[in-house]
C-alpha cells in the first residue's frame, strides 16, 4: 500500500472536521513527509496526482445521482460525512456576440492584441493602421508549477 493510499484513508477519518482542520492536517502530513524522509516525495506526488484524477472522475460520475438524492432529501438532510451540500444553478450569460457593436469591438481588440504581441517580439518598431507606434508592454509571469501528466 502506498503512502498516499494511507494518507487518503487518514483523511477519510476526518468525517466531522472543519475545512481548516483538514488544511492543517494536510500541511502537517506533507511537512512531516518532507522532513522525515519516510517517503519518496516525487513518487508519492505522482501517485497523489493519479488518485486526484481518479477520484475526480468518480465524482463526476456520482454527481448527477448525488444531486437527485439531495433534491429528494431536501434541505433537512443537507450534510454527510462532514460535507454540507447546496445546489448552485449555472449562471446566466449574455451572448454579447449577437450585438454587432460588441462583435466589432472584440474583433478590433483581438487585432490590437496581435499587434501588441508582435511589437513585444520585434526588435523594430511596429505601427498600427493610423501610424501610431505600438508600445512594448511588460510581461508578468505565473507561478512555477510541476506539471504531472498521467500517461
Assign 79 to helix, strand or coil.
Answer: strand
CA 80/CA 77 separation, integer angstroms: 8
- Give Cβ neighbours of residue 8 (< 8 Å, ≥ 6 apart): 51
- Residue 108 confidence (pLDDT): 93
CA 135/CA 137 separation, integer angstroms: 6
Contact by Cβ (8 Å): 31, 74: no
- Residue 67 confidence (pLDDT): 86
> Are β-strands 79-80 and 83-84 bridged in parallel, bridged antiparallel, or unpaired?
antiparallel
Among candidates 83, 63, 87, which has minimal Cα distance to 74?
87
Over its length of 151 residues, how does the chain's per-residue pLDDT go in tens digits? 666 667 667 766 666 567 888 888 888 888 888 888 777 888 888 888 898 899 899 889 988 888 888 888 776 667 777 777 888 888 999 999 899 999 999 999 999 999 999 999 999 999 999 999 999 999 999 988 777 777 7
- Residue 82 confidence (pLDDT): 74
Provide the grid cell at 115: 499587434
Assign 150 to helix, strand or coil.
Answer: coil
- Residue 105 confidence (pLDDT): 95
Strand partners, 80: 83
DSSP code of residue 129: T
Cα angle for residues 107, 111, 114 (degrees, 5° grid): 140
DSSP code of residue 126: -
Amino acid at each position: 500500500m502506498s503512502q498516499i493510499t494511507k494518507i487518503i484513508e487518514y483523511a477519510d477519518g476526518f468525517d466531522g472536521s472543519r475545512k481548516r482542520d483538514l488544511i492543517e492536517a494536510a500541511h502537517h502530513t506533507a511537512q512531516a513527509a518532507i522532513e522525515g524522509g519516510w517517503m519518496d516525495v516525487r513518487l508519492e506526488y505522482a501517485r497523489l496526482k493519479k488518485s486526484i484524477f481518479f477520484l475526480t472522475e468518480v465524482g463526476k460520475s456520482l454527481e448527477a445521482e448525488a444531486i437527485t438524492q439531495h433534491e429528494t432529501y431536501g434541505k433537512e438532510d443537507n450534510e454527510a460525512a462532514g460535507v454540507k451540500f447546496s445546489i448552485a444553478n449555472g449562471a446566466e450569460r449574455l451572448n454579447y456576440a449577437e450585438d454587432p457593436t460588441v462583435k466589432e469591438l472584440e474583433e478590433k481588440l483581438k487585432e490590437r492584441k496581435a499587434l501588441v504581441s508582435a511589437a513585444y517580439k520585434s526588435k523594430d518598431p511596429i505601427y498600427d493602421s493610423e501610424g501610431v507606434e505600438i508600445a512594448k508592454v511588460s510581461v508578468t509571469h505565473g507561478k512555477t508549477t510541476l506539471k504531472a501528466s498521467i500517461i
